[in-house]
Every structure is written in C-alpha cells, then in structure tokens.
Chain A
Amino acid sequence: MSVTTLTADMETYSDITQVEEFDSQQEREIILRCQDRDTVAMGTLVVQYQHWVYNIAYGLLGHHEDAEDVAQDVFLSVWQNINKFQFRSQFSTWLYKIVKNKCLNLIDQRKRRKTEPMEIDDTQPWVPLDKVTPEQEVLQSEQSQILHKALDRLKESYRTILILRELRELSYEEISEILNCTLGRVKSRLHEARKALRVELERIDW
C-alpha cells in the first residue's frame, strides 16, 4: 500500500479509532520525509500515533484537556527534533519517551504551583468502541473513576510503568529504554506497581 493511500485512509478513520500500524519500512520512509521537512509526512505520523500518545498522556495525567495539550506539544517537539532521531531505536520508543517526559514535566509544574490535587475528568465516557447500554456506561464510568483514583495515589514511577505496560503493552525491553533502567529493574518495579495498585483498589473498595 502506498503511503499516500495509507494517509488518506488514516485521515478518514482517525476520528473514530486507532489506525492500522505502519510496517517498519513505511515508518522509516515517513520519518525520512519528516526529516526533509515534509509537513504532509508529519501529518501522517500524527494520525498514526495520536491515539497512543493521547491515551498514554491521559493515563498519566488523568485529564482530557491536559492530555490533548501534551499530545500536541509532543508532536511539535517531534517535528522540531526529528533530525535527532537516528533509527538506533524504534521510533515509538523515542516518541513515548518524549510523552513520558512531557507528562512528568507537567506533573512537576502542578506540584510547584501547589494546585489542587488532580481531579479526574470524566466528562467524556471511557468506553470501548462497541455499543454499550446506559447502565453499562455508568458502571464503566464508575470503574474507570475508581481506577484513575487508585492510579493517582500511586508513585509516579509505578503509574508510568503500569500505563506503558498495561495500556500500550510495551515489551520489557522497550520499557527499560523509555525509563532508562535495566530489565531486572523493570521486572521488579512492575511487580511492585501491580501490588501497589491492588492495595489501592482494595482500599477504595472498602
């Protein structure tokens, strides 16, 4: 499939769901075009990754508007720094590292400003794309609120590793690269994070 056709398809469906992922050759071609300052290629890259960038940001920040702002900021950073990407790692790993850093910066800024604790914004329903009944919708919304509350109470490092692993299903290798730590550290931290989340969810249920 040519890149142009792929782009057109992705534009059509990007508002509805995540798009079919590039194969590595297509991705390389798009990135090379971005490095040549091709904004059309950049648009394609945005459509390809906006779903995960936004959802990871939302998982870490718990706020839709912040997640959208961060996601846009991430893509702007990608455009400005795309020439620094030398294909030594996967593009997604490089991208999620930027997402993680931007989100942690925003969390730090919030802490410094001493604003109110993060409020879970659930104005938009967190539902899968399948149609659900209103009762199911309410139940899912409540569950997601509880889950976000529990995630918010976790240490930043635990929350980050859980979102990267459970939401995006990144491999231990990718996580170790994004978090800049060893595989052993990823393994143990993920276990600790899961245990901590379990404890927090039990506390909220009580």
Chain B
Amino acid sequence: MKHEKIQNQLSAYLDNELVPEVRSMVEKHLIDCQECKKMLEDFQHNQQQISDLIHPVPSMKNAVLAMIHETESNTRKGLLSIIKKLAFRPFTVGATAFSTICLLIALFYVNPSPNPQYDELLDYYFGFQTEEISNNPLKSNVVVPLNNQTMETEETIEESDSLFNLYMSE
C-alpha cells in the first residue's frame, strides 16, 4: 500500500477501527516511515490533550427542575386561561344578546314608534297586550269611515248637477 493511503488510515488505526490485515500493514509501514510515525504521535498527544479538557460540573439538577416546574406551571396557566375563555364565552355572548334584546323591547314600549304596524308586530310576537288596540288609534290600522265628508261630497255633486241643469234649462 502506498505511503499516502497508509497515512489516511492512521486515524482509524489510532481508534482501533481497522481490520487486522490493514492494521498489520500500517504497523509495518510505521517501522520505516518517520513522517507517519510523527503524525500518529501528534494525533495521540492531541487526543490526550482534548480528553483532559474535562471540567467538574456543579450540579444543575435544581436549576433544571426549577425550569421544568416553571414551564409546566406556565403551560398549565395557559391551558386554564384557554379553557376559561372557551367555557365562558357562550355564556357571556348569550347573556349579552339576551340583555340587548330586553333593552330594545323595553325601549319600544317606553317610546312607541310612529308607525303603529311595528308595535302590533311586537304584540303579535311577544304577546304584550298592554293596551286595547281599539282604544289606541295610533296602534290601529282600521280605517274609520268618514261618513260626513262623503255626504258633503255627494251633496256638492248633486248641487253642481242641479246648477248645471238649471243653467242648461235657462
């Protein structure tokens, strides 16, 4: 095997990751090749240096558990507020709608609209028979016949006819 190929195997040789045949070839090469020998020694030295970079760690158990508890309680609070919102929303919406309707009905009865038809509609739907329609001309659409006026008109017509006849006869 060529020098370069052997050199590329040095790292795996150091980690004992070579098959026995290749391993023995590398070992044979290392006897004669000072460059590869030096490289392997440097690799070993650096490996030792990095493995020495181990630092005793102060326990972080309490800090981690505190973080976990905080996160859990935040999640619970978040869930609770969502549930509250979802649970109470129909009630609040319903209550608001009901009170608005009641307010509108009350307003209609305190200040009746100028058009009596709407009031009768309210009476029809909600059954509020607080007044007799017949007694309240504003709330009635029954037309009262104006007999006197008609008579007067007829008389007027009759008078005009008689006047016309008189004019013609003359």
Contact = CB atoms under 8 A, between A and B. Distances in A.
Instruction: Say what secondary structure dominates the interface of chain A.
Output: helix
Contact of B47 (A124, A166, A172, A201): A166
B56 interface: yes
A43 B71 contact: no
B71 A128 contact: no
A72 B63 contact: yes
B64 interface: yes
B54 interface: yes
Contacts of A124: 55
Given A42-B68, A76-B68, A55 B53 contact: yes
Nearest to B70: A76
A151 to B, nearest CB: 8
A47 B11 contact: no
A99 B163 CA distance: 119
B53 A201 contact: no
A68 B47 CA distance: 24
A172 B16 CA distance: 11
Contact of B60 (A17, A50, A165, A191): A50
Please tell me the size bucket of the interface on B: 20 to 34
B67 interface: yes
Interface string B49-93: 111111111111101110111010000000000000000000000
Contacts of A59: 50, 53
Nearest to B17: A172
A167 interface: yes
B51 A147 contact: no
A39 B50 contact: no
Interface residues of A, number: 49
Contact of A72 (B15, B52, B64): B64
B54 A167 contact: yes
B24 interface: no
A107 interface: no
Contacts of B68: 39, 42, 76, 79
B60 A128 contact: no
B51 A47 contact: no
A146 B11 CA distance: 22
B46 A172 contact: no
Contacts of A143: 49
Contacts of A15: 56, 58-59
A43 B65 contact: yes
B60 A11 contact: no
Contact of B51 (A14, A167, A201): A167
A174 to B, nearest CB: 12
Interface in A7-46: 11, 14-17, 39, 42-43, 46
Given A75-B60, A169-B51, 4 more contacts: A47-B61, A71-B57, A72-B63, A147-B50
List 9 A-B pairs, minimum CB-CB distance, nearest first. A191-B11, A166-B50, A14-B59, A75-B64, A54-B57, A46-B61, A46-B64, A198-B42, A166-B47
30 contacts: A39-B65, A42-B64, A47-B59, A50-B57, A50-B59, A51-B54, A51-B56, A54-B57, A55-B53, A55-B54, A59-B50, A75-B64, A75-B67, A79-B71, A128-B54, A144-B49, A144-B52, A147-B46, A166-B47, A166-B50, A167-B53, A169-B51, A172-B15, A172-B17, A188-B8, A191-B10, A194-B46, A195-B39, A197-B46, A198-B43
